[in-house]
Structure 1
Amino acid sequence: MIVVRENIYLRLIAVFAPLSLLSLGGGQSIVADINQQAVAIHGWVTQSEFVDLFAMSRAAPGPGALLTTLIGWKVAGFFGAVVASLALFVPSSLLAYGATIAWSRHHRHPWHRTAERGLAPVATGLILASAFSVLRASSSTWMIWGLATVALIIFLARPRLNPLFVLFAAGLLNAAPSLIF
């Protein structure tokens, strides 16, 4: 039994450590990859469970990558949660630390601004891929897609608007049909 646990811990590290290094733009940028790994490749959770874990990770205070912790917990209990969390946070933290030192040291070089402008669309694309992955995995009703489209339009028009207002309104609108009938 211990061999099985060690194996699952190594698999958690093998999945989440490389994703850690790809998480440009934060934890949201790798949700699509986490979904692929946890559901399709390893079968740790079902698609429905993944959506539920994603919702819990978004509702709970703390980092957006709490989803990884919840998957680790589901797969291997407390130690699975710890291993998955460390596998996601340690590599990217070390990379960020090293990059910050290099970035500060070379901030006057011409490539600095070019790299900065080039990374913004990469992070945006990764976050959009994650959003579409979660939308596809949800109930996929016209109401969900319509609410997501309206939220996108609102955020494009008012980028500094607190997202909690939009999420609350969308939740009320989504729940309204079941409350009325």
Structure 2
Amino acid sequence: MSTLITLFVIFGSMSLLAIGGANSTVPEMQRLIVAQGWMDASQFAHLFAISQASPGPNMLIAPLVGWQVAGGAGALTGLIGICGPSCTLTYLLARAGDRFNSNPYFARVRAGLVPLSIGLVLATGAILAQSADHDVMHGLVTAVAAAGTIWTMRNPLWFLIFGAVVGALSL
């Protein structure tokens, strides 16, 4: 199978599993990308960090991985793969949702997706922390940022600045 088709299949399947946003599929995305031999877990974690620091939607990881793997065509393939299937499904479900909005079963399904998406996002954080935290200092910065974000409800940018300062001081 060609590289572009494989990229599309990986990101297209992740698109359909992205309950709670593209970040909820990052652990599986990382596993599949690393299994292809396109990059190691650390390189993937660095691309993910760049995608999160960049302005714009949080699914920028797909075009960045695509760019790393196959240049401009790979970036476009990754973007179409991560956006196309889920956008199409969302459109179809939104059209159908108008008819089923008052159905109590439909409301229970939507309510059940909330804890699922939270769990998937937390799994993403754990997988990326394992890939990026190479020593005690990095692990401590990750723990402080995670705990601070969860329990203080502060803007995550403050913890990003904290991590940058710690990194700059440790040079």
- Which TM-score applies when normalising by structure 2? 0.91
AA matched with 2:77: V
Which residue of 7, 12, 16 corresponds with 1:17?
12
Name which one, 1 or 2, has greater alpha-carbon Rg.
Answer: 1
Deviation readout 1:61-100 (Å, 9 max, x if unpaired): 1111111101111111101110111011000001111121
In 1, Cα distance between equivalents of 2:65 and 2:103? 42
Q: Does 1:145 align with 2:158?
A: no
Question: Greater shift after overlay, 110-119 or 150-159?
Answer: 150-159
How far has the Cα of 1:13 moved from its partner? 1.3
User: Contact conserved, 2:14 with 2:22, CA < 8 A, in 1?
Assistant: no
- RMSD of Structure 2 on Structure 1 (CA): 1.7
Alignment match, 2:54: 60
AA matched with 1:101: R
User: Contact conserved, 1:143 with 1:174, CA < 8 A, in 2?
Assistant: no
Give unpaired runs (5+ residues) of structure 2: none
Alignment match, 1:37: 32
Q: How many residues align?
A: 171
Which portions of structure 1, spanning 4 or more consecutive aligned residues, are displaced by more than 4 angstroms? none
- Identity of aligned pairs, percent? 31
AA matched with 1:33: E
In 1, Cα distance between equivalents of 2:141 and 2:97? 39
AA matched with 1:25: G
Alignment match, 1:7: 2
Alignment match, 1:113: 107
Give unpaired runs (5+ residues) of structure 1: 1-5
Alignment of 1:118-129 (within 5 A): 118-129=112-123
Alignment match, 1:28: 23
In 2, Cα distance between equivalents of 1:79 and 1:135? 30
Alignment match, 1:163: 156
Deviation readout 1:31-86 (Å, 9 max, x if unpaired): 111110111x1011122321221121111111111111011111111011101110
AA matched with 2:160: L
